[in-house]
Amino acid sequence: MEPLEIIEKLKEKFATEIMDVSEFRGQVSVSVRPAKIMDMCRYLHDDPDLYMDYLADLCGVDYPDRKYRFEVVYNLFSIKHRHRLLIKALILEKDPNVDSVVPIWAGANWHEREACDMYGIVFNGHPDLRRILMPDDWVGYPLRKDYPLKGPEGAEYKEFEELKVLHSHDKEWNIQS
């Protein structure tokens, strides 16, 4: 099935949720309201003609000057049918949340945790939405465009034990750090 045919099937079921459709170099993406993302993804996964069984990637994006500051991008692929589609959930800054798709694609688990950790996007219904890259007590979201380049003022960077061991031989091995 061609990507634009997939969009037509989506429009039949989710016409009010689709905000924009775009194509770039053969890759079709559809921008949607986040309210029905779970229903839409379930449909894309379960419909036998579509069967998007593989979530190739999920990531957050920050556009601070746009009305919808954040996007959650779902890169979907059907191994059986060999077609691909990008879904972009458009998220408002004042309400940065969307439903988790972990019940559909278990592989979304750590991707959603990373988007939450780096952008502050909350994935409702996620089974374990805790920080994955930053320390639990970290303040802010480092991949937001307005995040200070050197991190928050007064942030304490705790040295990892592994680095202490690694650098313990610097003098002995004549390594300048």
SS (H, E, C) the chain: CCHHHHHHHHHHHHCCCEEEEEEECCEEEEEECHHHHHHHHHHHHHCCCCCCCEEEEEEEEECCCCCCCEEEEEEEEECCCCEEEEEEEEECCCCCEEECCCCCCCCHHHHHHHHHHHHCCEEECCCCCCCCCCCCCCCCCCCCCCCCCCCCCCCCCCCCHHHHHHHCCCCCCCCCC
| pLDDT at 11 (0 to 100) | 96
pLDDT at 161 over 90: no
Residue type, 5: E
Q: How confident is the model at residue 171 (pLDDT cuts 50, 70, 90)?
A: confident
Return the structure tokens found at 39.
């229903």
The stretch 71-83 carries a mean pLDDT of 98
Fold of the 3-147 domain: Beta Polymerase; domain 2 (3.30.460)
Q: What is the Cα–Cα distance from 143 to 60, expressed in whole angstroms?
A: 9
pLDDT confidence of residue 174: 73
Least confidently predicted of 85-89, 143-147, 163-167: 163-167
Which range among 40-54, 93-107, 152-166 shows the weakest confidence by mean pLDDT?
152-166
Residue 124 one-letter amino acid: N
Q: Which residue has the higher pLDDT, 162 or 9?
A: 9
Model pLDDT, residue 94:
96
- Relative to beta strand 27-32, strand 18-24 is antiparallel
Domain ranges of the chain: 3-147
CA dist list (Å): 66 to 62, 89, 130, 160: 9, 14, 27, 38
Write down the pLDDT at residue 38: 97
CA angle 18, 21, 25 (to 5 degrees): 155
**Confidence class of residue 177 from pLDDT cuts 50, 70 and 90?**
low
Residue-wise pLDDT tens digits, 107-157: 999 999 999 999 999 999 999 999 999 988 888 999 999 998 877 776 665
The string of pLDDT tens digits covering residues 14-60 is 999 999 999 999 899 999 999 999 999 999 999 999 999 999 999 99
